[in-house]
Amino acid sequence: MSTVNKSIMAYFTTSVGKKQIMALTGLALSGFLLTHLLGNFLILVGADAFNMYAHTLTSNKLIYVAEAGLALIFLTHLGLAFNLTVENKKARPQSYYTKVRTGRGATLASVSMIYTGLVILGFLVSHLMHFKFGPVYYVEMNGTQVRDIYRVVIDYFADPLQAGWYVLAMITMAFHLGHGFQSTFQSFGFNHNKYSPLIKKLGITYAILVSAGFAGLSVWGYLQSSN
């Protein structure tokens, strides 16, 4: 390997490099969340619009490329999360007898990233099982058979326990994003007296809006069946 390549490879194994990859993958996932939410809002328009949207997405061949890319990004984020957490534990083999947060630095969100991340992971598995790989019903639209994913959604959220689990998972995700979003800027080296506090606020706003959006749709789904 040439020395230049070696030096680039080293990037992926150093603390700063890994932190930046964590940030890049986290930001990409955050972008995906936003588009996913915006697409989901079509369910409010009606069953036909939602099913048509889902059909258009999944019948495009490029979806496999996009899914593979997304999976790769997610697994990289996940793998590095464990790697960093283990390394960080090892960096302090003996813990303190007493340790307090100063209150001027770390937050509940920042110290619980691995736990909120694990909840997201658990959520994702259940989410894929129940929707993507869930029951398949068909409806006919304009002469073609399309999957009635609308019905899967409405059926799922009819159970208040399942709707409740979604709301809880989204609250947990809000914490992850609340620290994560603003953190990515620092990781890439952007820190500015005036703009960094704004980015922090923007991150928290983003976290709350996206999580509330998904949670809101779950509650909406539950209300559909109870009416």
Applying CB under 6 A, the residues found at the interface with ligand HEM are 19, 22-23, 26-27, 29-30, 33, 77-78, 81, 84-85, 113-114, 117-118, 120-121, 176, 180-181, 183-184, 187
Query: With binding defined as CB under 8 A, does residue 191 bind another protein?
Result: yes
The pair of structure tokens assigned to 6 is 């070696």
**Contact partner at residue 142 from ligand HEM, another protein, none, CB < 5 to 8 Å by partner kind:** none
For another protein, the closer of residues 14 and 145 by Cβ is 14
Least distance to ligand HEM from the beta carbon of 182, Å?
9
- Contacts with 117 (C-beta within 8 Å, 6 or more apart), sequence order: 78, 81, 176
Q: Which of 17, 134, 164, 213 touches another protein by CB under 8 A?
A: 17
Range 113-132, binding another protein (CB under 8 A) = 113
Query: With binding defined as CB under 8 A, does residue 16 bind another protein?
Result: yes
Query: With binding defined as CB under 8 A, does residue 142 bind another protein?
Result: no
Least distance to another protein from the beta carbon of 40, Å?
30
Least distance to ligand HEM from the beta carbon of 108, Å?
14
Least distance to another protein from the beta carbon of 206, Å?
17
Q: Which of 15, 60, 145, 205 touches another protein by CB under 8 A?
A: 15
